[in-house]
Amino acid sequence: MDLISIRIITADVARLVDFYERVTGVPATWSTPDFAEVRAGSATLAIADTHTVALFAPDAARPSDNRSVIIEFLVDDVDRVHRDLTGFVADFVNAPTTMPWGNRSLLLRDPDGNLVNVFTPVSPAAVAKFAR
């Protein structure tokens, strides 16, 4: 089994796609005006309009209702990303902080309130874990 993507349901696809294009530096691929994908490395972040939920099961997902998932992006320099996003991101949860497990992490919220962790491995063990 392969994990293909994580999908965010939103009431404003264009706004969220713009946000993730800016955060990742990756242009989205649009399938329809209601569905786009940001392919970052081996993972895909899919962004879909609320009315697409009914195609699966009505009310199975609600926009801006997540309080348990953190979307994570590995970057070369989290401090640079923080500087680049200052003035664009409205809600930084923390400044870049070195975590006990060896990643330097920047936690922020996207426009729908979803948590996003942008991180750079800094300890030898973390660097080895994420070696590309």
Give the model confidence (pLDDT) of 31-68 as tens digits.
999 999 999 888 999 999 998 888 888 877 878 888 78
Distance CA 107, CA 31 (A): 29
- Length of the chain equals 132
Report the share of the chain in percent with pLDDT over 70. Answer: 99
Give ∠ CA 129-131-132 in degrees, rounded to 5. 140
Q: Tens-digit pLDDT profile for the chain (132 aa)? A: 888 899 999 999 999 999 999 999 999 999 999 999 999 888 999 999 998 888 888 877 878 888 789 999 999 999 999 999 999 999 999 999 999 999 999 999 999 999 999 999 999 999 999 887
Structural domains present in the chain: 1-57 (3.30.720.120), 68-132 (3.10.180.10)
Count CB-CB contacts under 10 A for residue 2. Answer: 4
